Structure 1
Amino acid sequence: MRAVITGGTSGIGLSAAIELGKAGYEIIITGISQEDAKTALETLENHGIKSQFIYADSMKEEDVNLCFEKIAQTYDSIDVLVNNVGGLGGRQRFEEMETSFMRRVMALNFDSAFFASRAAIPLLKKGKNPSIINYSTIAVTSGGGPGAGIYAASKAAIEGLTRALAKDLADYGIRVNAVSPGTIDTAFHSATKREILDSWKEGILMKRLGEPSEVASVIGFLVSEKASFITGEVIQINGGQVFI
């Protein structure tokens, strides 16, 4: 079994790589940092997981296509694609928002998933229990914080893409689902002061931040045979934050 995880060199992506690697998948991670890749591969090796890194900027169509061409030169199939690449991209209120900023955030979150999914389909068609995992966010429900509105909108597009792909690929037995993390303790929040992060816990029913491994474990379930009748779903992982 083989799993491709875009941007899987750190954070939730690396946790997903460990989760799937322990489940028996050979891991292929992509990214743009050779330094982060080296550390990630060492981490995976320490867990006894077979893995490799392919350089690819997921926002660039040519990079993504070349990445999957390289994979196809070695393997005739893959079983899982995790579209892990994404991020806030910065903050701008709509009134002052530069078009270039809007496009960059959309490219980071939506284009990256579209490019990888499209390129992976021929390999997934030949996979075993094949599936795609996308990433939404709790910001789709809340509309995002100040200046994060286009981030929320880009992830709402991901939810639509997830359902559309699930319909489009069902004939091939390819399942498509998304995870929607709440506030997870990762480098995503590195620019946020710790006291602010701690205050956010009061808005979470479980009174704590989530861990990357708690998202990874849901991904592990969704790609497994145990989830064989689940497709087109968006799974909330937020400790009850969405209900408050």
Structure 2
Amino acid sequence: MSTLNKRVAVVTGATSGIGFQVAKRLGQDGYAVVLNGIEDEEGAKKVEELKTEGITAEYVSFDVTNDAAVTKNITAIGEKYGKIDVLVNNAGGLGGRSRFEEMTTDFYRFVMALNLDSVFFASRAAIPFLKKGENSSIINYTSNAAWNAGGPGAGVYATSKGGVHAITRALAKDLAEYGIRVNAVSPGTIDTPFHAQIKATKPEVFASWANSILLKRIGKPEEVASVVSFLASKDASFITAETIQIGGGQALGI
């Protein structure tokens, strides 16, 4: 099958962690995958790794918080392939910790841009090409923090993820007439570079997190990727406006 005949998936923030595993899984599912990131050397390495497995992949560098850069690059991807079948808005992060009293406006705007604006920018740019795709869908990432407001200093992260939950449902309403589905996943504690620092410096703390999870273990990036794969597939063709918790029961707050 030529590249132009393959289904096309764009995954933001895909040079490591969950994003890379999602790109890998979609590539294994037969998609041509476009990995986005801002670490160009790592992006090139990851594309080569996927290509050695026979996956059609390329890396495109842009900052998901930059409106113009997102629009330019997503449009270029859509024009190159003639369509986009799946957009995975994986990019995001805590951005740091700050209580609201001491929080600077710049920090607030950065975290909101990283987690919420990025979803809007990428989705808006992709919609014209998703309309040309097959069983097209957008998959976003929210968090338990969207419901429990996050831990100390993570209030604005929680606020941004609450916005992702809302925009997922709003996009689903907006795009239903075109047959474009929009869903979200909500990963719990997953063993990724996101937690690398505490895992390295306080391994006992990292290990203890399993105690608050019903299944008594930390999740794996591949376990998130498998759910994203399902949501992108025809098996999920009647699922839209939903959020799937992937946390081993962590959301129950035991």
The TM-score by the shorter chain falls in which range? over 0.9
**Correspondence for 2:141:** 135
For 1:59 and 1:239, locate their aligned partners in 2 and report how far apart those are by CA, in whole Å: 31
1:194 aligns with 2:194: no
**Correspondence for 2:94:** 88
1:2 aligns with 2:8: yes
Number of equivalences: 244
1:157 aligns with 2:163: yes
Contact 1:18 1:47 in 2 (8 A): no
CA displacement, residues 92-135 of structure 1 (integer Å, 9 cap, x when unaligned): 01111111111000000001111000000000000000000000
For 2:58 and 2:22, locate their aligned partners in 1 and report how far apart those are by CA, in whole Å: 15
Flag as ranges the 4+ runs of structure 1 deviating above 4 A.
Answer: none
Contact 1:85 1:108 in 2 (8 A): yes
Amino acid at match of 2:232: V
Q: Could you list the runs of 5+ residues in structure 1 that have no partner in the other structure? A: none
For 1:128 and 1:105, locate their aligned partners in 2 and report how far apart those are by CA, in whole Å: 33
Contact 1:138 1:238 in 2 (8 A): no
Aligned to 1:110, which of 104, 107, 116?
116
Aligned to 1:67, which of 53, 66, 73?
73
For 1:174 and 1:22, locate their aligned partners in 2 and report how far apart those are by CA, in whole Å: 23
TM-score where L is the length of structure 2: 0.94
Deviation at 1:47, TM superposition (A): 2.0
Q: CA RMSD in A?
A: 0.9
CA displacement, residues 57-84 of structure 1 (integer Å, 9 cap, x when unaligned): 0000011011023213312111000001
1:207 aligns with 2:213: no
The equivalences for 1:18-57 within 5 A come to 18-57=24-63
The 3-state SS of whatever aligns with 2:190 is coil
Aligned to 1:221, which of 230, 239, 249?
230
Deviation at 1:56, TM superposition (A): 0.7
Contact 2:11 2:87 in 1 (8 A): yes
For 2:140 and 2:53, locate their aligned partners in 1 and report how far apart those are by CA, in whole Å: 25
Q: Could you list the runs of 5+ residues in structure 2 that have no partner in the other structure? A: 1-6
Contact 2:116 2:164 in 1 (8 A): yes
Deviation at 1:236, TM superposition (A): 0.3
Aligned to 1:233, which of 233, 242, 247?
242
Deviation at 1:24, TM superposition (A): 0.6
1:16 aligns with 2:16: no
Aligned to 1:242, which of 220, 242, 251?
251
Amino acid at match of 2:249: G
Contact 2:83 2:133 in 1 (8 A): yes
Amino acid at match of 2:23: A
The 3-state SS of whatever aligns with 2:101 is helix
